[in-house]
Structures are given as C-alpha cells and as structure tokens.
Amino acid sequence: MCGIIGYIGPRDISSVLLTGLKRLEYRGYDSAGMTINNPDGLATFKAVGKIMELEKKISGRDLAGNLGIAHTRWATHGEPNEINAHPHLDAKGEVAIVHNGIIENYYALKDFLIKEGFKIVSDTDSEIVAHLIQKFHNGDFSESVAKALELIEGTFGLAIVQKGENKIIAARRGSPLVLGLGEGEMFIASDVSAVLDYTKRIIYLNDDELAIVEKDSYSVKNLKGEEVNKKVHEIKWTLDQIEKKGFKHFMLKEIFEQPEAIINTLRGRIKEGKIKLSLDLNMNSLKRIIIVACGTSWHSALIGKHLLEKIAGVPVEVDYASEFRYRDPLIREGDLVIVISQSGETADTLAALREAKARGAKILGIVNVVGSTISREVDSGIYLHAGPEIGVASTKAFTVQVVDLLLLALFLRQEKGLDLQKDIIRNLETLPEKIREALGQSDSIRELAEKFVNCKNILYLGRGLNFPVALEGALKLKEISYIHAEGYPAAEMKHGPIALIDKDMPALFIATRDNTYEKILSNMEEIKARGGEIIAVVNEDDKKVIGLAGSIIKVPSVSCELTPVVNAIPMQLFAYHVADLRGIDMDKPRNLAKSVTVE
C-alpha cells in the first residue's frame, strides 16, 4: 500500500526521506520517488522496484534543500512505471504532490483540466491534484490547495510542496496521515513507523484537515479554514519493537510474541475473578450484535459469534465488511455493531463502520493500532495491545482478537448478573504458558512442512469453534506460500468437496477434544477410505486419531473456548515453514499489502 514521508528541517534531506521510505517498505509497493525543494526548484527522482533503485538514481548528486516529500507507490490506476510513480508535478514543475487513496471523480476532473489546456502525462488519478493546485495558484499556497481539495471526491492523504515555499502542506480524507514534531524540524508521514527514528511526538490528522507545516511550527485547519486544536500523542512503540529482534522474518517474530501479546491484552482486564472493561455503551438494551471485518479479522469474528452466543446469550451475525457496506443492512434498536481490525485503517471495514453509524448503530471497535482511523471513529473500543504487526500475514492480532472477544462475552454475561465461568477465567490466565508449549512444536512442524512443501492443494477441516481456525489456516497457507488451500466445516465434505480427495489432496484436520471430537473422527475415516492423506492437530494425550492420521501435530489441552487460540499456532507455523522452505519472503507476499486502505 502506498506510503508517504515528508520532512522540513536541517538534516540531510535525501537520507531522511530514504530512511522514512525504508520504514514504510513493509506496507508493500512497486515504485518510489522523492521531490526536494532546493534553491534551483523542485528536484524530482523516481524509480520502479525497490527503494535501492531510487537510491542509485540520487547517489552522487548534490541534493541541497531543507524540505522534501517522498512516496512508495502500490499501483491502483496505471501500471508501475516511472511516469506513474509519485511525486507528480504540474506542467510548470512548480507544485509537487504525493498522494495515498483514490480520487473517484478523476475522469471528470481530468476532462476539465484538459479542456482548460493542462497536459496530463501519467495514467494516475493523483497527478490531477498537482494541476488543480497550480490552476488555483494566487500567491497563497494553502488557499490554492484548499480550493483544489474542494473539487476532489474520494480519499486522500496528501503531502504537497511548492517551489519557493518554505512549508509542506498535508491534507487528509480517508487515508491516514500524521505529523511528527521535532525541535526545529517537522515530519509528515502516512505511518508512525516512518518518523520514529527521529521523533515520538505525533499528531494524527482527521478527515478534512489540512496542516501547514514549517520547520518550527505547524497549524491545522479544517477545510473551511477554521483553526483546529490537535492533541500531541507520545508514541510508546520503539523502533526496536518494530524490528525483527533476531528472527528471520517479522512473521516468525510475531508468532513467537503471542504469549506476551496475550499477557498484554489481559493486563488489568481480569481482577479478583471479574472482567474489567471500560465500555462507554449501554449494554442493558442490547438485543443483537453484528460483527463486521475482513480477512483474518473476519475469522476471529466467526469465533466471536460462537463465544458471544454461548457465553453471553446474545444473538450475533457476522458479515464481511465489504458486503455489509453495500447490502442495505437493517439496523434496529438494541443493535450493537462491532468492527474488528488489526490496522484500524482497512477501507472496507471503515466504510462499514460509517454505514452502520449513519443508520443509527452504536459501534464498538476491537483494534490494534492506537490512534488509527477506526479507533477514533468508534463509540467505544477495546484495544488489542498486541504490539506492532508488520508481517503481512496477521498472526498475533488474530489470537489476541479471539481472547478479547472471549473477554467481551464474559463481560456481557457478568453485566447480565449471570455467574462467571471461573474455569474459563483460570484457563485464560494460564493461556500464555500453553501458547509457549504449542510454539515448542516449531521444529517438528518444520519437518512436516518439508513433507508437504511441494503439494499443490490442501484442505483444512474443522468443526464448531475450530471451523474458523480451519479457514484461517487455509488463508495463512495460501497468502504466503501460494499453495491453494481451502477451509471447510469437516461435515460439509460429504456434500461435494469429498470428490476432490485422492492421494494428492492432503486434508489437515483440527481434531482437538471438544463436543465435535467423535464426529471429526468419522469425517477422518471418510477421507482415509478414499486414499486421502491426513494431517491432524490433536491434544497431547490423544489416542484415537493416531491410527487414522499419517502426520500428527500435538498441542496442549485447554478449555474448549480457548482451543481456537492454541490451535491457530500450528496453523501459523506450518504456513510459515512451508513458505520459508519455498524461498518466499512471507513478510511481503506478492500482490498483498499489510493494510488495505483502498476499496
């Protein structure tokens, strides 16, 4: 996904911009570029591919200047090439912009500009912003930006420089943007990690805000030109937390961080056998919950449905955010909409949130990234406290989401005055230890991965609470190893997919003990009878599955409600090791971005 960094101050401009771009690499990109405002005008450099290619282009040049903007592009309009890479400039080369988001009325604006005599050179929607600003140029930089923005429909995170101006203008609608405050220097970025090398003092811009940033000062206005007071946040995440800590990949580091992440999410939320959540919502009138999310977060939502219905006795519906937003959803009195998102920036989830809000629903967010757009737009929230998740494949966010949904289910039960299930609470407190035990299987899971590294398809099967874990296991494998994998409820096999079973279609069963255990054994028999190879995730002391499965992964026993968390660990490790053995950089799998901020 595209990334933005801007800098104004005394440091070496190109190295600050390059460092910022490198911090944004994990988001995924296909080209990069920068513009430096130097005494001779706007010097712009672009390159397709890695940031190293951009570095090569600027090496050996004298890049004097005290302000500049830079961008990593992930193509949406127009192929990845140098013309389409950002920054984009107006025809006179006086205005340069970098843009994240999508300009929806781009064709209309392009026609309008062409009729006015402007020459558009790229295939992007972004370039028109530079021309519009130039068109409205009247000597007042911020006024011409504001006028241009009035015409734009769609989403933007923008950083803009103008020849001869000692300031950068940033503007946001629907695409994250922050200001980093330094001493005699200022930063603009689409992501806090791009500026953490230099400052931890951050301002989050809201939609329809415009910031005028100079080296010693900043001001933020809304698009009506009214001054807005902004809170300065002190960021606690260190760069060290963000980096790999000796693990080969971020994904592996994040898988191994799960015990710690669970300790952090539980901290202060269980006291003397009671659940403490400070939710600013009236739960007495609660009649129904609708959960919306995407990808892995949608899988945790499916588990949340089981937990909330069983423990709290509240009916729950789960929807893909991308479907919910367009299906004219019915919101009734007593409905609570829960949005789940690791990044807090997923465009579909954000749009679903806004749709639900517009229809009168109260919104509860379950989000990891503090200060993200979703976290700021919800009525109340539960932060995951899982720490930064950099690997594109979501791992620790998933298990922590499930833990927080369980906490919420217990909390709602407590609010109803029903007795709390003490054994679940005890199990929650020992969960980090159980996760450590499951992580101890990493080496034997790698051996198993060696056996399946060349397979073309795998079926993931589970039932009940562990059906969404099968979906999540299949998603993990396909997104990082490029092996086709599908998750199914095990009993659905006989209604069609069983036709696929032969010696080349292994089936991975989640077969830990719960109320569907005996049924799963019969489903395994059905596969075995058709020559299918079985991999099974079982409890350490399991006796029955051993005779049926060719390969076994053992996990510790936990109470039924927590099995999805423990069973997710071998799913993640298996996918990781298969991808690593196939030589794939699973932190940045092809065609994927960490945070999907476009529709």
Interacting residues toward ligand M6R by CB under 6 A: 294-297, 341-343, 346, 349, 392-394, 479, 592, 595-596
Other Cβ atoms within 10 Å of 562 Cβ, number: 23
Minimal distance, residue 350 CB to ligand M6R, in Å: 9
What's the rounded Cα separation, in Å, for the pair 312 and 174? 35
Residue 161 or 301 having the CB closest to ligand M6R: 301
The gap from C-alpha 397 to its chain's centroid, in whole angstroms, comes to 9
Supply the DSSP symbol for 386: -
Instruction: Identify whether 455 is a catalytic site residue.
Output: no
Q: Which is nearer to ligand M6R, 70 or 347 (CB)?
A: 347
CB of 561 to ligand M6R, least distance (A): 22
Here the tokens at position 378 are: 């919800």
HEC string for 161-214: EECCCCCEEEEEEECCCEEEECCCCEEEECCHHHCCCCCCEEEECCCCEEEEEC
Q: Output the smallest distance, CB 401 to ligand M6R, in A.
A: 8
Nearest distance in Å: CB 475, ligand M6R: 6
Classify 513 as helix, strand or coil. Answer: coil
Of 17 and 386, nearer to ligand M6R (C-beta) is 386
Q: Which of 253, 396, 588, 594 is catalytic?
A: 594
Out of 2, 22, 46, 554, the active site residue is: 2
Residue 591, both tokens: 């065609």
Query: To the nearest whole angstrom, how small is the minimum distance from the Cβ of residue 212 to ligand M6R?
Result: 31
Residues in the chain, overall count: 599
Here the contacts of 251-255 (C-beta below 8 Å, separation 24 or greater) are 251/391, 251/392, 251/393, 251/395, 251/480, 251/572, 251/576, 251/586, 251/587, 252/576, 253/391, 254/389, 254/390, 254/391, 254/395, 254/396, 255/395, 255/396, 255/439, 255/569, 255/572, 255/573, 255/576
Residue with tokens 């919950």: 289
- Least distance between ligand M6R and beta carbon 598 (Å): 11
Q: In 440-495, which ranges are continuous DSSP H helix?
A: 442-452, 467-481
Question: Do the beta carbons of residue 342 and residue 315 sit within 8 Å?
Answer: no
Query: Least Å distance between CB 479 and ligand M6R?
Result: 6
Amino acid identity of 517?
A: Y
Instruction: Respond yes or no: is residue 594 known to be catalytic.
Output: yes
* Residue 256 C-beta: closest distance to ligand M6R, Å: 17
Closest residue to ligand M6R, judged by C-beta, is 295
Q: How far apart are CA 401 and CA 3, in angstroms?
A: 26
What minimum distance in Å lies between the beta carbon of 512 and ligand M6R?
A: 22
Toward ligand M6R, which CB reaches closer, 343 or 414?
A: 343
Residue 244: both structure tokens together? 């790999």
518: exposed, middle or buried (Cβ count in 10 Å: 0-12, 13-18, 19+): exposed
End-to-end CA separation in angstroms for the chain: 12
In the bound state with ligand M6R, the residue whose beta carbon lies nearer, of 352 and 428, is 352
Task: Beginning with the edge strand found earlier in the chain, give each strand of the sheet holding 201-204 in spatial order.
Answer: 41-48, 31-38, 67-73, 3-8, 186-189, 178-181, 201-204, 233-234
* Cα angle 407, 560, 470; round to 5: 95
Q: Between 181 and 294, name the residue whose CB sits nearer to ligand M6R.
A: 294
Whether 96 contacts 87, CB under 8 Å:
yes
Give the residue with the Cβ less far from ligand M6R, 264 or 341: 341
CB of 400 to ligand M6R, least distance (A): 11
Query: CA 151, 109, 77, 42 torsion: positive or negative?
Result: negative
Q: Rounded to whole angstroms, how far apart are CA atoms 178 and 189?
A: 5
User: Closer CB to ligand M6R, residue 397 or residue 536?
Assistant: 397
Please say which residue, 113 or 353, places its beta carbon nearer to ligand M6R.
353
Nearer to ligand M6R among residue 124 and residue 342 (C-beta): 342
Tokens coding 252: 């592996």
CA distance 532 to 497: 12
Q: Which two tokens stand for residue 194?
A: 């791009």
Active site residues per annotation: 2, 594
